Structures are given as structure tokens and as C-alpha cells.
Amino acid sequence: MVNNKFYLYNTLTKQVDEFIPREKDRVSMYTCGPTVYHYAHIGNLRSYIMEDVLEKFLRYIGYDVKRVMNITDVGHLASDGDTGEDKMVAGAKREGKTVMQIAKFYEDAFFEDCRALNIKTPDVVEPATNCIDEYIKLIEKLFENGYAYEAGGNIYFDTSKLADYYALTGHSSDDLLVGVRDDVEADGNKRNKSDFVLWFTKSKFDSQELKWDSPWGVGYPGWHIECSAIGMKHLGEHLDLHCGGVDNIFPHHTNEIAQSEAAIGHGWCRHWFHIQHLNDRAGKMSKSKGNILTVSVLKEKGYDPLVYRMFCLKSHYRKPLEFTFDTLDNAKAEYDRLKNRVAAIADEGELDERAFDEYRERFIENVGNDMNTSLGLTVLYDVLKADISGKTKLALINDFDRVLSLDLTGGAKQEHSDELTEYVERMIAERAEAKKNKDWARADEIRNELAEKGITLKDSKEGTSWTKA
Ligand SMILES: [Zn+2]
């Protein structure tokens, strides 16, 4: 039974709407999965972390969720506008392997990253190459309904047949087509510039390894049709929630809506959830820029992957997030302190049910206000400070962690000996006291004394963290 209201920004209505699924207490949720031609970078993983929090929050407030995710192992070209080389073929060429070997390797790598980040595997994970019959059926339906045409050997969707092709973006065609890459020759077969490929038979890539028989000749599906067909295969003709990164809004999700609604003849998905980019100093993180920042890189540099999860939860999913190692260090210091504080709580006293319910309500209200995870963390800190029994605190922390998944009661972060930690923490506290009393000389003296022992202090608005050389 779901008793709480949940408000979530909806890209389709462009406002924060109350989330109301079609069937009471049940949610059908579709997530665009990875194209498995390379490792996921931590910017891609920001989306999967926030989608995971969303799914867990829905379950937490009582929904029965069925979540489906595709794995794109065919049909996703270098440009989202149906041009350029197939990403999978390029990946296979790069590594001297077959497309299926590449797909298997990077799919495994993706789920290993997810495990490290405490991202739950969706109920259904479907590789695109499993569903060829479904794409063919859907495309046949589009022909029947008058939305598909054949030109130059390929099958296209005719976007001019729709009254509101741009419903999701709210933009005009001219604004958006600037985003479709112009550096490859335009496809002269298209009746309208915004039309897109449903099925490729005549490909300029003879190297395309994976091809299937179809009523229109041997070929392979376009990327967009995959998600519509896989969604319908497992969740039927109605979706409550569809998720992805903001760069999926156009053209991918716009095309998914176009072809799904043209095929079924009614509205398809009620609520669209999109996560903003992770940027580095040079702009949006992307694989095409060369060095990609992955979970393995973070691990090699000594970070617990959950520090990155904490880093993401500290900011709102609708704001671009800038990644630097300095800000990651702040998240690490905060995460370590948080774990240490939780580890110090003694499991004693009675469970205060009234306090438990009150804090739980506040947590739901805060996170339920457009997935405000940072306000959710604030409630967690309030619990740590509260005048309630250790038993009640631990019960609440474990309860919130069903959504946050930060392994908060998994023990203290033991990196240094107890004596060293105790000594440094004592000195940091003394320095803070000195600074409060404007005794700058004493504060500097403490910093220098620690520096001689190889300990570097770093001040931030969350407090002081330290590292030992
Ligand atoms: Zn998709």
C-alpha cells in the first residue's frame, strides 16, 4: 500500500508532477541500458545511480516495481541521427574481436561497475539482439498504420505524419536538428530531415557482422526501435516511467514516443525522468574525448566506488554536476566521517517507534520532493544528532540505506591505526577551537606539527579532512 505522495519532474509536462502510476501500487519502469562497445564512464554511471535511487525509493514507499533495461548490442550508430559507424562494429575492430565478444565483455564490465556502486540489476535485462522478431512486428504495424516507408533499401519512420513529434522536447525542428551531427553526409533517402531509420538493409557498412532476415531484406534494426519493442515485450502498451540521461531526450526518446504511439494508437508513457550530465573542467564527459574516467580508475586511485555514489547523491539529478578530484575528496572525507560516526553508535536502548516514524516521514517527504537526495542526507545527519536511543538511530540508518545504498552500517573506514586517527582527530579539533578563538598562531602551529609527520589537512565547508603521505 502506498500512502505517500511522490513528486517528480516530468520532462513531458515540463513541471514537477505528482507521480501517479496507471495501476494503483504498481509501477512499470523502463530504463535505456548501455551500448556495450566500451567501458561505462562515471558520467554514464551517474544516470544509473540516480535511476537506482528512484527505483529503490518507489519500492521504499510501497510500490511493486517492474523494471526493464535493454542492452544495446546492435544498431547504435556513432551519431544518434542514424549516421556514422555502428558503435559495436567500431569497438570490435578496435580490439580485434567479434561484436558478440565485445558485447559480452563490456556487458560484464558494466554489471561489475553496477555491483561496486550498489546499483541493483533491473528485473529484466534484455539484449537487443534477442528481440529481432519484436522489431519486425512493430515495424510491420507502422507500415499498416501508414507511418513507415521504404527508400533506398532502408525502412524509415515518417515524422511528418505526427501532429506533435516534438512533444518531449518542446522545441521546434530547427532548434533541434542543429544537435544532429552535420559532419556526415545527409541521408538523401529521408523524406523529412527528422525521419529516422527503423530497419537498415542497405548499409554502407559491409563490415556489419550481425544481420537478420526480414520482410525488407537482410539487415539490422535501428537503435530507437529496440527500446520501444523491448519495453512493450515486457511491460505492455503502457509505461509509467521511462528513464535516461538528458542526451537521450532527442532524438532517442523523441523517436521512441513517435514510433510507439504511432504503432499502438494511444499514449504510451506517462512520466519521463532524465538525469543531467556529469561535466569535467573541459565540459561534458564523453568517451570520444579519449581518456575515460571509469570505476576501475577510481579504484586504482584508492577510492571506494561508494564515495562516487555519495558524490552523486549530494547533488540534484536535474543539475549538471562538475567532477574534480578535489570535490571527490570532499565526498570521501564526508563519507568516511559518516561511516565512522555510524560505527560509533552503540546498539542499545529501546526502539522509539514514534521517533522512527517521524524521521521516516521526513525522509520520504524530502526525497519525495523531486528526488532530493541531498535533503535526504540532511535527515540522516539529523538522526545522528538526535536525542534518541542508539537502537532507534541504527534502525533509521538501515532503513534509509535501503534507498541510499551507501553501506552505512558496514563498519568504520579503517585506513589508519586507531592511535594515529585519534591523535589527528584530536589535533584537528584543537585547531578548529584555536581558529574559533582567532588564535591563528596556534592553528598554524598545529598544521605544521602535523605536516612534519606527513599529514596534510584540507579544509572545506564540510569540515577538515586529512591524508597521510
Ligand atoms: Zn533507449
pLDDT confidence bin for 179, thresholds 50/70/90: very low
Q: Are residues 386 and 453 in the same domain?
A: no
Q: Are residues 188 and 249 in the same domain?
A: yes
Task: Check which CATH number belongs to the domain holding 349 and give it.
Answer: 1.20.120
Residue-wise pLDDT for 423-444, tens only, equals 888 888 899 889 888 999 999 9
**Nearest in space to 91 (alpha carbons), one of 102, 101, 82, 80:** 102
pLDDT of 215 reads 95
Measured in Å, residue 252 CA sits from the centre of ligand 1 at 6
Q: Are residues 248 and 325 in the same domain?
A: no
Is residue 298 one of the residues assigned to a domain?
no
Task: Check which CATH number belongs to the domain holding 266 and give it.
Answer: 3.40.50.620
pLDDT of 178 reads 44
Measured in Å, residue 33 CA sits from the centre of ligand 1 at 7
Residue-wise pLDDT for 133-168, tens only, equals 999 999 999 999 999 999 988 999 999 999 889 889
Q: Is 155 exposed, middle or buried (0-12, 13-18, 19+ CB in 10 A)?
A: buried
pLDDT at 201 over 90: no
Is residue 79 one of the residues assigned to a domain?
yes
Is residue 297 one of the residues assigned to a domain?
no
Residue range 7-24: mean pLDDT, rounded: 97
Measured in Å, residue 231 CA sits from the centre of ligand 1 at 9
pLDDT at 414 over 70: no
Last residue of a domain, one of 275, 293, 315: 275
Q: Are residues 114 and 260 in the same domain?
A: yes
Residue range 100-106: mean pLDDT, rounded: 92
Measured in Å, residue 131 CA sits from the centre of ligand 1 at 14
Within 8 A by CB and 6+ apart from 434, the residues are 440, 442, 443, 446
Measured in Å, residue 451 CA sits from the centre of ligand 1 at 52
Q: Are residues 360 and 425 in the same domain?
A: no
Last residue of a domain, one of 350, 377, 404: 404
Measured in Å, residue 126 CA sits from the centre of ligand 1 at 12
Is residue 294 one of the residues assigned to a domain?
no
Last residue of a domain, one of 236, 256, 275: 275
7 forms beta bridges with 18, 369
Measured in Å, residue 143 CA sits from the centre of ligand 1 at 22
Residue-wise pLDDT for 242-272, tens only, equals 999 999 999 999 999 999 999 999 999 999 9
Residue range 41-61: mean pLDDT, rounded: 97
Measured in Å, residue 69 CA sits from the centre of ligand 1 at 8
Measured in Å, residue 293 CA sits from the centre of ligand 1 at 23
Measured in Å, residue 244 CA sits from the centre of ligand 1 at 8
Measured in Å, residue 269 CA sits from the centre of ligand 1 at 13
**Nearest in space to 53 (alpha carbons), one of 414, 338, 363:** 363
Is residue 320 one of the residues assigned to a domain?
yes
Q: Are 447 and 457 in contact (CB under 8 A)?
A: yes
Measured in Å, residue 19 CA sits from the centre of ligand 1 at 21
Is residue 158 one of the residues assigned to a domain?
yes
Residue-wise pLDDT for 280-327, tens only, equals 887 777 766 666 899 999 999 999 999 999 999 999 999 999 999 999
Given the DSSP bridges, would you call strands 283-284 and 83-86 parallel, antiparallel or unpaired?
Answer: unpaired
Selected residue with higher pLDDT from 213 and 458: 213
Q: Are residues 252 and 371 in the same domain?
A: no
Q: Are residues 435 and 390 in the same domain?
A: no
Q: Are residues 271 and 331 in the same domain?
A: no
pLDDT of 393 reads 98
Measured in Å, residue 30 CA sits from the centre of ligand 1 at 9
Measured in Å, residue 425 CA sits from the centre of ligand 1 at 48
Measured in Å, residue 177 CA sits from the centre of ligand 1 at 19
Measured in Å, residue 358 CA sits from the centre of ligand 1 at 39
Cα–Cα distances in angstroms (integers) from residue 197 to residues 106, 157, 203, 213, 225, in the given order: 26, 6, 11, 17, 9
Measured in Å, residue 246 CA sits from the centre of ligand 1 at 12
Is residue 243 one of the residues assigned to a domain?
yes
Measured in Å, residue 31 CA sits from the centre of ligand 1 at 7
**Nearest in space to 168 (alpha carbons), one of 290, 68, 103, 260:** 260
Measured in Å, residue 253 CA sits from the centre of ligand 1 at 7
pLDDT at 204 over 60: no
Q: How many domains does the chain have?
A: 3
Q: Are residues 76 and 166 in the same domain?
A: yes
Measured in Å, residue 136 CA sits from the centre of ligand 1 at 17
Measured in Å, residue 300 CA sits from the centre of ligand 1 at 31
CA distance 229 to 457: 54
pLDDT of 207 reads 63
Measured in Å, residue 386 CA sits from the centre of ligand 1 at 44
Measured in Å, residue 32 CA sits from the centre of ligand 1 at 4
pLDDT confidence bin for 206, thresholds 50/70/90: low
pLDDT at 173 over 80: no
pLDDT of 184 reads 44
pLDDT of 351 reads 96
Is residue 258 one of the residues assigned to a domain?
yes
Measured in Å, residue 245 CA sits from the centre of ligand 1 at 10
Measured in Å, residue 249 CA sits from the centre of ligand 1 at 10
Measured in Å, residue 259 CA sits from the centre of ligand 1 at 12
Measured in Å, residue 315 CA sits from the centre of ligand 1 at 25
Q: Which long-range contacts (CB under 8 A, 24 or more apart) does 392-398 make?
A: 392/349, 392/350, 392/351, 392/352, 392/355, 392/356, 393/345, 394/342, 394/345, 394/347, 395/351, 395/356, 396/356, 396/359, 396/360, 397/342, 397/345
Residue range 213-240: mean pLDDT, rounded: 95
Q: Which domain holds residue 362?
A: 306-404
Q: Are residues 392 and 426 in the same domain?
A: no
Q: Are residues 257 and 390 in the same domain?
A: no
Ranges 76-85, 164-173, 328-337: which has the least confidence = 76-85
* 212 DSSP assignment: B
Q: Are residues 28 and 118 in the same domain?
A: yes
